[in-house]
Each structure stands twice: as C-alpha cells, then as structure tokens.
Amino acid sequence: MNEPTAGAMAEALQQALRGTRTRNPLVGAAVLDRDGNLAATGFHPGAGSPHAEVNALAAARAAGIDLSKATLVVTLEPCAHHGTTPPCAETIARAGIPRVVFLASDPTEAGGGADFLRERGVTVEKYDDESRLPADSRLLAEQLNARWFRAKREQRPFVIAKSARTFDGYIAARDGSSKWITNAAARSDAHVLRSRVDAIAVGAATALTDNPRLTARDTSERTLVRPARVVFGMRSLRPGSHLDDPATIRLSGAHLASDLRHLYRKGVRSLLIEGGGKLVSSFLRARLVDQFISYVAADLMGSGNPAVSFPGVDSIGERQSWMWDPSGMGASAWLGTGADLNLRLQTIPKEG
Ligand SMILES: NC(=O)c1ccc[n+]([C@@H]2O[C@H](COP(=O)([O-])OP(=O)(O)OC[C@H]3O[C@@H](n4cnc5c(N)ncnc54)[C@H](OP(=O)(O)O)[C@@H]3O)[C@@H](O)[C@H]2O)c1
C-alpha cells in the first residue's frame, strides 16, 4: 500500500470523527485523483443522513475530479444493503471508480459491499498495512467503532447515557426538582441527540417526577421524529401522563443485559438513557454504557440526587477508566454549549 493511500486513510479516519455515534458506525472517506493527490473527503454525519462514500464522491465531482481514474479510500467496507439510504456499493459502482481501499470489514447485515464491487470489476483492497499510518491514526483505527461492533456482537443496542448535572455532580435537588439544570443550548443539543436514536429510556422515578415526553423537538417545539419510549421499573405511571401510553415499552430492569437484547430484537439499535441517576448507575455498574454524555452546568448544589452512585469501588484500582470521545465535536471531546460544558466520554475498548 503506497504513501498516498496511507495519507488518505489517515484523513478519512479524522473525517469519521466528525459524525455522531448513534445506530450507525462512524465512517470517513477520501478520494485520491489519478496522480494520487487527496482530492476530496466525506464523512457520515449520523443515522438517516448520506454515508461517507456518497459525500466524498459528491465532493470529488464538485471539484471536477475524473472518477474513472480515481481511488476511493474508506474506513469501513462500503455497505451493500438498503437501509434509510441506498447501498453505497451500488453508488460507487455507478460512479465508475476503478479502485476502492477500505480499512475495517463490516461484519453486520449491512456488509458485503467488497464482494459486490469485485463482481462488477472494481479492484477492492482491504488496507492491511496499519504500520504505515501515523501513530494517532493507528490508535483511532483500533478505537473508532470498537464499542459499536461489540454491541452488534452482543446483539444489543449501542447504549448512550446522558445526564445534565451541576459541576459537583448532582442531577436533582433533594426535593426532586431538576428542570433547567442546564441552559437552552444544552437542551437543544440534547434534542438533536434524541432525534438520532431508536429509543429513549428513563427510570420509573424520573417518569413519575418529571413526566417527560421523551420526544425529539426543535426549539419551536416541533416534533422531529418519534423514537420508541422505554420506562425501566414496573411501578404504575400517573394516568394521563406523557409516558402512560400503550406504546411505551415497560421493562423490569432486573436483568439489564437481557432487557437490552429484548430491545434489539424489537429493532432498537441505539438507546439513549436519560436518567435518572439510579438507572444510569445500574447500567454503568454492569458496564453496558458505550458512550457517556454529560452536560455540566456552572452551578453548585452541595447535596441532592447524584448523577452516578453505586457501591463496590473501595480502592482506586477498582475504578472504571474512560477516555474522551472526540466524535461529533470537531477537535475537542468537551465543548461549551453556552455557559455549560458538554462532556463526551467512551469506554476504553480493550478494557471492554
Ligand atoms: N438532570 C438530569 O439529567 C436528570 C435526568 C433524569 C432524571 N433526573 C432527576 O432524577 C430524579 C430521579 O432519579 P432517580 O435516580 O431517583 O431514579 P430513576 O433512575 O429515574 O428511577 C429509578 C427507578 O427505576 C427503576 N429501575 C428499573 N430497573 C432499574 C435498575 N436496574 N437500576 C435502577 N433502577 C431501576 C426502579 O423502579 P421500580 O421501583 O418501579 O422498579 C427504580 O426505583 C428525579 O428527581 C429527576 O428529576 C434528572
């Protein structure tokens, strides 16, 4: 594999990070022109939007690149299935690209694009010389979708836990009030996140205290999409409350791993857990959270309902270690949303 391909793969990996982690993996792509120059790039912003390859090809066309002599470099094997968008493999074949280089094979039902393209005369190579990548790209290649693939292997949704908290770690005051811990920018960011997942869950206490709607709304209160709504805990909800709806999925929460597999069988590929602290803590303790998003307000409470609390860690060596997740955030894993911080973390893949 030559140097231009290595450079393009490093760039494609950086592009992939611009997307958000939801029901689809993060993917980036780059196009090399006939002379091996990096001519265009693309990334997949998130579920429901065009895939990285399609965006990179469109950018190359817009730049006047002759695709019949170009190479497409992509971080994941192009998809061959009809999801919310047409199969990328078909789009690539139609574009007349003669050579495709991909980094990771796609073991999911969406895979198979490599064979599809080979059958149509395209030269398809799996990038197998990661030693040529810069050290940070090698690490990124290893970590980019590790948890996402793990969720697939375990036949459970990719799990994102989210909380809004004071900077000393409380999600609600002692009287249970929690509304408006964070500012309007953070709340609107949270609605974008909701619009990109298949289901949103809360614990029974949050359902009773906050009566949340769990819908994705924009600032004008227009409902964008309707993810499935899930309540963990079997207590009766208040008649007429937003989640007192036959369509709400009720789960006991006694066996979280099997509850997640149940949701997967119902077609839920990404689950956003919006609290409260007890439910999120149980998921964290069971190591079933793939990404943790925390909106941190510049407020101090000193006491109240903690964002996370569980027994079992008696010495520092038993702590769970996480790392910053720069996906969907540009260069930084934590960005200000007005006066609030938006903290994104992911588990360290090797640790699991
Ligand atoms: N700032 C924020 O981001 C935010 C977000 C959400 C909520 N809140 C606030 O948080 C407070 C409620 O939080 P909370 O921590 O007290 O309760 P919670 O996590 O919302 O709900 C706890 C309940 O969930 C059910 N549950 C089912 N499976 C569970 C499991 N494996 N682990 C834990 N719980 C499970 C149980 O109900 P059953 O007893 O019925 O089985 C349990 O009592 C409210 O004041 C709310 O306003 C704040």
Length of the chain: 352
User: Is 256 close to ligand 1, i.e. is its CB under 6 Å away?
Assistant: yes
pLDDT at 123 over 50: yes
User: Is 178 close to ligand 1, i.e. is its CB under 6 Å away?
Assistant: yes
Q: pTM, whole model, 2 decimals? A: 0.89
pLDDT for the residue numbered 352: 46
User: Is 294 close to ligand 1, i.e. is its CB under 6 Å away?
Assistant: no
The 10s digit of each residue's pLDDT in 199-214 is 999 999 999 999 999 9
Looking at ligand 1, which residue's alpha carbon is closest to its atom 32? 279
pLDDT for the residue numbered 218: 73
pLDDT at 130 over 90: no
Encoding tokens for residue 168? 């000393």
Before 276, cis peptide (omega within 30)? yes
pLDDT above 70 as % of the chain: 95
Distance from residue 276's CA to the centre of ligand 1 (Å): 4
For the CA of 235, the closest atom of ligand 1 is: 40
What is the DSSP-derived secondary structure letter of residue 130? Answer: G
Looking at ligand 1, which residue's alpha carbon is closest to its atom 33? 279
The 10s digit of each residue's pLDDT in 54-89 is 999 999 999 999 999 999 999 999 999 887 778 999
pLDDT for the residue numbered 134: 86
User: Is 86 close to ligand 1, i.e. is its CB under 6 Å away?
Assistant: no
Distance CA 345, CA 322 (A): 6
Q: Is there a catalytic annotation at residue 53?
A: yes
Collapsing DSSP states into helix, strand and coil, what is residue 251?
strand
Looking at ligand 1, which residue's alpha carbon is closest to its atom 47? 178
**Higher-confidence position of 338 and 19:** 19
Q: Hey, which of 165, 183, 200, 232 would you mutate to test ligand 1's pocket, going by the most ligand atoms within 8 Å of its Cβ? A: 232
The 10s digit of each residue's pLDDT in 148-174 is 888 999 999 999 999 999 999 999 999
Distance from residue 158's CA to the centre of ligand 1 (Å): 20
User: Is 159 close to ligand 1, i.e. is its CB under 6 Å away?
Assistant: no
Cα 120 versus chain centre, distance: 32
Distance from residue 174's CA to the centre of ligand 1 (Å): 14
Set 3, 11, 53, 109: catalytic member? 53
- 268 — pLDDT class (breaks 50, 70, 90): very high
Distance CA 79, CA 107 (A): 10
Task: Give the pLDDT mean for 265-292.
Answer: 95
Distance CA 240, CA 15 (A): 46
- Closest among 116, 18, 17, 16 to 73, alpha carbons compared: 16
Q: How many DSSP H helices and E strands does the chain contain?
A: 10, 18
Collapsing DSSP states into helix, strand and coil, what is residue 236?
coil
Q: Phi, psi (5° rounding) for residue 98?
A: -85, -20
Q: Is 64 exposed, middle or buried (0-12, 13-18, 19+ CB in 10 A)?
A: exposed
Task: Give the pLDDT mean for 171-200.
Answer: 84
- Closest among 112, 110, 62 to 85, alpha carbons compared: 110
- Closest among 255, 254, 312, 252 to 285, alpha carbons compared: 312
User: Is 190 close to ligand 1, i.e. is its CB under 6 Å away?
Assistant: no
pLDDT at 98 over 60: yes
Q: Residues 111, 114, 119, 125: what is their CA dihedral angle, to the nearest 10 degrees?
A: -170
CB proximity list for 235: less than 8 A, separation 6 or greater: 204, 208
- 225 — pLDDT class (breaks 50, 70, 90): confident
- Closest among 35, 24, 13 to 130, alpha carbons compared: 13
Distance from residue 325's CA to the centre of ligand 1 (Å): 26
Q: Hey, which of 258, 279, 295, 301 would you mutate to test ligand 1's pocket, going by the most ligand atoms within 8 Å of its Cβ? A: 279
pLDDT for the residue numbered 331: 47
Q: Hey, which of 163, 206, 310 would you mutate to test ligand 1's pocket, going by the most ligand atoms within 8 Å of its Cβ? A: 206
Average pLDDT, the chain: 90
The 10s digit of each residue's pLDDT in 295-334 is 999 899 999 999 999 888 899 998 899 988 888 765 455 6
Distance from residue 207's CA to the centre of ligand 1 (Å): 8
pLDDT for the residue numbered 234: 93
List helix spans (H) across the chain.
3-16, 52-62, 88-95, 113-119, 135-143, 146-153, 184-195, 204-210, 256-265, 277-285
Beta bridge partners of 74: 29, 102
Distance CA 83, CA 349 (A): 27
